[in-house]
Amino acid sequence: MAAPGWSERARELLQRMNSFHGAGSPKGLCLPFMVAGQQVGHMPQSVAQRLCQYPAVFSVAQGDKAAACVELNKQLASFEERTAAVQGVLKELKEQQAFPCLKEWREELYNVMPYFCDAPLFSMERAATPLLGVKRYGAHLNGYTWRNGQMFMWLGRRALNKPSYPGLLDNLAAGGIASGLGVRETLVKECQEEACIPASLAAQAKPVGTVSYTYVGAHGGIYPECQFVFDLELPEDFVPQVGDGEVQEFYLYPLHKVKEVIGSSDFKPNCAMVALDFLIRHGYIQPDDEPQYAEMVEGLHRTL
């Protein structure tokens, strides 16, 4: 069989990153995770069984006609109470080595809410979100520049000691939005930390939309993620520098080479989606040339 062409590989990338919506998804077997009467996640049954061994915090509720759901104990009424109770359970599960994803515990808190615009209901350890299937938010930067009238894009290569996707290509700067931080604030911080982009330059980054998707991870965890995307035109003489060591090296790629690595196993998948969105928004990929164009734009922007 011939190797799949670029369109086919890009399509497979989007299908993989939206596997929660695809054939064979565990979606139908997940229980809605409810906090204060609002759904904030999708919980795999194996996780629900384990969490319900802590009935002061988690319990399965069965409505009249509604299907079962997992509820956070309603007596946990404040942000602080919920955060402390959930974090206590998760720490115990981590010590028991109950779930593989908890090995990546970072002591970094993410806010949990039905939508990004809502007040957070509680916050929780970043590494544990796939167990509850709650939404995660991040900020990603497309850094581009010009050489002889041609557009080029800066990409980073992740350090080999990163717990996730070591050694793969990444956007110029990117990071998750931790509890208490704003979108642009996160971006400017990551620009400084990862690529030594000074705050004055990072401040010129333009927000241009989001990329959103839900995938099922290796251990059955659920990852509904929304990345706020920024474009930053860099001066011709600017060269990013390795900062906190999360990136080992930077490359300046012409757009045809960026396109080539999208859908290859060398590019961290969600970063490849951000780069694909860039190529579409900048007219490098055109609807009359790319048969999958309409489906690609849809696949980059799934409703969480």
Residues near a second copy (CB under 8 A): 115-117, 137, 182-185, 206-210, 212, 226, 228, 280-283, 286-288, 291-295, 297-304
Contact 155, 172 (CB under 8 A): yes
Helix, strand counts (H, E) of the chain: 9, 13
> Computed over its alpha carbons, how large is the radius of gyration of the chain?
20
Q: Identify which of 139, 134, 141 has the alpha carbon closest to the alpha carbon of residue 118.
A: 134
> What residue type is 192 in one-letter code?
Q
Q: State which residue, 99 or 137, has the beta carbon closest to a second copy.
A: 137
| CB contact at 8 A, 126 and 108 | yes
Between 92 and 118, name the residue whose CB sits nearer to a second copy.
118
Is the CB of 159 or the CB of 181 nearer to a second copy?
Answer: 181
CB of 54 to a second copy, least distance (A): 31
Shortest CB 282 distance to a second copy, Å: 8
> Nearest distance from residue 281's CB to a second copy, in Å?
5
Query: Measured from the CB of residue 27, what is the shortest distance to a second copy in angstroms?
Result: 15
- State the SS3 of 60-112: EEECCCCCEEEEECCCCCCHHHHHHHHHHHHHHHHHCCCCHHHHHCCCCEEEE
Nearest residue (CB) to a second copy, 42 versus 94: 42
In the complex, minimum distance from the CB of residue 166 to a second copy, in angstroms, rounded to a whole number: 29
Q: How far is the CB of 113 from a second copy (least distance, A)?
A: 11
| Closer Cβ to a second copy, 92 or 298, answer by number | 298
Tell me the closest approach of the beta carbon of residue 228 to a second copy, in angstroms.
Answer: 5
For residue 21, the minimal CB distance to a second copy (Å) is: 8
Q: Measured between alpha carbons, how far is 136 from 112 in angstroms, rounded to an integer?
A: 8
- Paired tokens of 146: 């010009």
Q: Is 283 helix (H, G, I), strand (E, B) or coil?
A: coil
Residue with tokens 């908890």: 102
Using the minimum distance from each CB to a second copy, give the nearer residue, 51 or 222. 222
Closer residue to a second copy (CB): 47 or 222: 222
Classify burial at 196, counting beta carbons within 10 Å of its beta carbon; exposed 0-12, middle 13-18, buried 19 or more: middle
Residue 194's closest CA among 237, 162, 153, 151? 162
Residue type, 221: G
Please identify, using beta-carbon distances, which residue of 240 and 299 lies nearer to a second copy: 299
What is the chain's length?
304
Helix (H, G, I), strand (E, B), or coil: what is residue 7?
helix
